[in-house]
Amino acid sequence: MILWFNCFFPNSDASTNVMILSVHVGANPLYGYYAAAPVYRVAVRHIRQRWPTSLSNLTHTAIYMPGYDLCPDGGDHTAEFFAGYYYEHWRRLTAPETYLVLASPECTNQALVLADFARDLDLPLFISVAGSTQLTNRKRYPTTSPQAALSGNDVLQSLEALLNRFSWRTLSLICDPMTQAPGLANFFYARCGDLQKFFIKKGYTWYNKEFNSATERNFSDYLSATKDRSRIYILLTLPQFIRQLMIEASKLDMSSGDFAFIAIQPTQRPGIGPVSWRGNGTHEDDKMAVDAFKSLLVITGVVPVWSQIASLTSEISETARIEYNYTYPHDAQESDVQIGIYESTMMFAQVFDENYPEVINMTKKRFIEKCSNRSFSFAGRNYASDADGGKVLPVVVQRFNRRTELMETAMLFDTVRRKFYDEVPELWYWVGRNSSPPDVPKCGFRNDHCDGPTGAGLLIGILITVFTVLLIVCGIALHFVVERRKELRRLWWLVERSTLQSTADERTAGIKVSVVYSMLGRKYRLLRTQQPLYMLTLETPEPLTVSSFHNNKKLLHVLLNLRYLNHPCLATFKGISPGHRDIALESAILHVLGSFGGDGVPTPQSVEMPRNLSSLVCIIDARFTAKIAESGYARIFEYLNLSKFKRCNEEDQSEMVEMIWKPPEVLAAGTRKAPRPQHDDLLGSCFGPAEFRPTARRLRSLLQRVKKRSNDVIGHILMRIERHATDLEFVVAERTQALSVEMAKADSLLQEMLPREIVLLLRNRQPVPSEQFESVTIMFSDLPVFANIANMCEPLAIIEFLNETYSLIDEVLPEFDVYKVETINDSYVVVSGLPHSNGAQHVFEICRLAVTLLKTAKRIEDPTDSNRKVLLRIGIHTGTCVAGVIGRRMPRYCLFGDSMNTASRMESHGEAGRIHISVATKERVVKSPNFVIESRGFREIKGKGQMETFWMSEARHFSTS
């Protein structure tokens, strides 16, 4: 459908009818019919008022072809559309009294077609939107005046000047096709092709990355792909996506000043808005955006001062509403596209008026030349036209103002004189640098542009490194020695007697303290921490002083080692206590204190452990845990010249008591005597061989015979040991039984999924090798009616039906020597002859199973028809195959080989209720009296070609045994 509308204002005084014919393809919201036609209507009214002498008879005709709103779509139909209209009205359009002017607010594809018509028909053409560099070719398009606000040439010239200014030659180009906004793609993506040709022509090193913001938002991938190949990025996308790109750049540490980003933006058009770091993200995103925007440069055009032309934009909006029944969206009220259309139309009128009436007979090429190399002033802004008749507006380069946090004009570019002017020094800064970042690192991206260090320099570097390391090691060693000496001089081992409290009074009254207690040492408590201690009191031949310790470095080292001697099985050394409050050890008694605990720190090798363990050097803590005491004490006595020491009152102890403290293994070498007759049975059994010693229950019984004890400690200990041993045996037996039951369940379940041998190998974490079987028989079966069932039944009903069918088949399998391989939808796969070889019996096992399954399937009702039974379709083949376990998680025992394919083809080319077998299977069962074989002839089998196949059925006397 083609529509055209005339705007005619009759004037009897004018002799020449000037007609502006605007061509509109589609209703693109930016420059389509409803967006552009009202602007021409307003411009015509203003022209008639401003130049009544020459253009009072001016008319406007808009031709409109709906349905092609995208630039690529409409380009293929523009020629047919315009030619059809022109040759239908050629008499009126070519009349001597008519001066025809073409106007196109369309994008590049349509504009290039109209430019060819304008040249061939010798008509002036004014283009207000398309900014392709091809339109500036005066030889090809001599009658065309491109009036785009930010043309492709302007972008290329300003970008080239900017790159030369900072010596940037290695670049990355990131383009956005913007399929979600096809109208805007003409202003963004169309520039990508111009830039690519420009980079090739000028010899730049560049990398091209395209992303579609309509479907892709993971911008970090595009930055990461090129960050190691270039540091200068040129971005062509919408402002909101520029913000996201800059945030991702900040996350990749590309906002530190080593990278620069150049965003090319057209002048303000509906729905675009300015480039800004502000958005709807989090506070953290805004912070990263601010940091990244400091490395951003924006190339854009000069925007009109909208407040000065508010009446013009209001008149355009009102004309669209009243005459075209179209309301501009809110974000389209201030559109540079509409201002560009208005300016190009007014420019034509001014040049026409200045050359009237000579312009009537002037060639259209000459008329376009009259529009070149001059200045104009419309819609509140001044601009010029270049030698090609194109619009010349300054190109703006914006930078981030750190004070106002806005993108502001840093300098302007004169596209005629090709130089920058009106620079703002405050905005020219580089993060962390005094100059612009280089496009290539000093040593290249792979550090291959710098020469390696010289031999002398390398040697000096090595010497300096070695000297530094030695200096650090010596400093650490010196610090360690000084700290060690300080620690040796500290009196940490000196425990004042006033800080100890004897616990002898706390013992229960009426219980006699054993003489053995005095042998081991008395029990004390440290008042500050209430930590239990024991004190070993030894006789010394002469009084000791603190100097006796300070003058003996070996002794101090032993004491320091004992301080850090901590182990769960050792009683910790706590220090030495004097006999009086003064520091001098005047008493001839040496008190050595130890605690009952340890924290598991390894034992220093410099401290010797007791070599002859007995109960004289073992103590029991509150948890009835044995601790070895007196570790390293022999060295103390050795350095104090106490070659043989003895405990206080040691000579008062009887030989029998000393023997009691020794284990049976030590006493076995000598003569032992029972301290009391009543202990003969008890000690006789305890001192016997280890395998004949009594259990805890037997020991308790023996002790009860000797002496009845009710509340003594030993009785309670034995009772607890007996109870614990009994309970432990019961619990271990019970849990072992439960574990065996659960393991049996797990084994049963695993063996349902995998062969038993495979289960054992997997449990032992052993590799499962694949195995080739020379002769096995494989059976495939399915349900031909399953497709119909799946279409007519609900998913839950399908699952219930399959479960019922497979369960019946599973019940039959144990009667035969077969292995179930897998089930896929309605397909059931069974094999015989593996994983255990059964000779030649495998073919008979499968054939008997197939006959049985045909009978079993008759018990299954079709869920779509209760009066119909389900029929199986079975295919069988015999041959070789390879079996193995696939996967680590949910492993499967799978079969591979051509035999699997052939068996599957036998099933798929069979018939419901019948058994279809191959030649290999037939040759093995043909002599069996249990089966009847019927040739099916040669048939075309998919993937196999011509094959002779056979039907198999049961003989009348068939038996499954």
Q: For the segment 735-755, what is each residue's pLDDT rounded down to a tens digit?
A: 888 888 888 777 777 766 777
Q: For the segment 811-846, what is each residue's pLDDT rounded down to a tens digit?
A: 888 888 888 888 887 888 999 988 888 888 888 889
Q: What does the alpha-carbon distance between residue 665 and residue 687 come to, in Å, rounded to a whole number?
A: 8
Whole-number pLDDT of residue 928 = 80
Q: Is the peptide bond before 863 cis (omega within 30 degrees of 0)?
A: no
**Residue from 108, 113, 126 nearest 40 by CA:** 126
Residues above pLDDT 90, as percent of the chain: 14
* Residue pair 607/558 in contact by the 8 Å Cβ criterion: yes
Q: For the segment 762-779, what is each residue's pLDDT rounded down to a tens digit?
A: 777 777 788 888 889 999
Q: Is the pLDDT of residue 35 over 60?
A: yes
- 657 by Cβ neighbours in 10 Å (0-12 / 13-18 / 19+) ranks as middle
Residue 752 sits at the vertex; the CA angle it makes with 750 and 757, to the nearest 5 degrees, is: 60
**3-state class of 267 per DSSP?**
coil
DSSP class of residue 617 equals S
Distance of CA 571 to the CA centre of its chain: 53
DSSP class of residue 822 equals E
**Residue from 196, 269, 270, 272 nearest 234 by CA:** 196
Q: Is the pLDDT of residue 462 over 50?
A: yes
Query: How many CB atoms sit inside 10 A of residue 328's CB?
Result: 20
Sign of the alpha-carbon torsion through 672, 673, 675, 679? positive
Higher pLDDT, 598 or 135: 135
Q: What integer is the mean pLDDT of 540-562?
A: 74
Angle between helices 842-857 and 795-812 (to 10 degrees): 130
**3-state class of 861 per DSSP?**
strand
Q: For the segment 246-280, what is each residue's pLDDT rounded down to a tens digit?
A: 999 999 989 888 999 999 886 555 456 678 888 87
Q: What does the alpha-carbon distance between residue 327 and residue 319 come to, in Å, rounded to a whole number?
A: 9
Sequence-separated (6 or more) residues with CB below 8 Å from residue 329: 29, 270, 271
Whole-number pLDDT of residue 930 = 81
Whole-number pLDDT of residue 540 = 61
Q: What integer is the mean pLDDT of 853-869?
A: 81
Which residue type, as a one-letter code, is found at position 718?
L
Q: For the segment 384-442, what is each residue's pLDDT rounded down to a tens digit?
A: 887 777 787 888 899 999 999 888 999 998 877 888 888 888 998 998 888 889 988 88
Sequence-separated (6 or more) residues with CB below 8 Å from residue 367: 124, 143, 351, 352, 355, 359
Can you list the positions of beta strands (E) in 26-165?
Answer: 59-65, 98-104, 125-127, 144-146
Higher pLDDT, 562 or 254: 254
Q: What does the alpha-carbon distance between residue 349 and residue 56 come to, in Å, rounded to a whole number?
A: 11
User: Which string of b and e fits 357-391 if b means at least 16 CB within 10 Å?
Assistant: eebeeeebeebbbbbbeeebebbebebbbbebbbb
Query: How many CB atoms sit inside 10 A of residue 501's CB?
Result: 14
Q: What integer is the mean pLDDT of 8-31?
A: 70
Q: Is the pLDDT of residue 81 over 80?
A: yes
* Average per-residue pLDDT for the chain: 77
- 824 by Cβ neighbours in 10 Å (0-12 / 13-18 / 19+) ranks as exposed
Backbone angles phi, psi at 614, to 5 degrees: -155, 175
**Residue from 552, 499, 505, 546 nearest 525 by CA:** 499
Q: Is the pLDDT of residue 10 over 90?
A: no
**Half-sphere exposure (Cβ direction) of 674: Cα atoms closer than 13 Å:** 12
Residue whose entry in the numeric block shows the structure tokens 């300096």 = 464
Query: How many CB atoms sit inside 10 A of residue 719's CB?
Result: 13
Rg (CA), the chain: 51
DSSP class of residue 216 equals -
* Residue pair 176/192 in contact by the 8 Å Cβ criterion: no
SS (H, E, C) 534-600: EEEEEECCCCECHHHHHCCHHHHHHHHHHHCCCCCCECCEEEEECCCCCCCECCCEEEEEEECCCCC
Sequence-separated (6 or more) residues with CB below 8 Å from residue 686: 664, 693, 694, 699
- Encoding tokens for residue 237? 């996308």
Sequence-separated (6 or more) residues with CB below 8 Å from residue 275: 239, 242, 243, 263, 265, 296, 298, 300, 398, 407
Q: What does the alpha-carbon distance between residue 930 and residue 958 come to, in Å, rounded to a whole number?
A: 5
Backbone angles phi, psi at 602, to 5 degrees: -55, 150
Whole-number pLDDT of residue 352 = 93
Q: For the segment 896-952, what is each residue's pLDDT rounded down to a tens digit?
A: 888 888 998 888 888 888 899 998 898 888 878 888 888 888 888 887 888 889 988
**Residue from 307, 298, 303 nearest 159 by CA:** 298
Residues above pLDDT 70, as percent of the chain: 74
**Residue from 173, 63, 53 nearest 114 by CA:** 63
- Please provide the distance, in angstroms rounded to a whole number, between the alpha carbons at the two ends of the chain: 83
Q: Is the pLDDT of residue 358 over 50?
A: yes
* Residue pair 899/878 in contact by the 8 Å Cβ criterion: yes
Q: What does the alpha-carbon distance between residue 392 and residue 376 come to, in Å, rounded to a whole number?
A: 10
Whole-number pLDDT of residue 49 = 92
Q: Is the pLDDT of residue 381 over 70?
A: yes
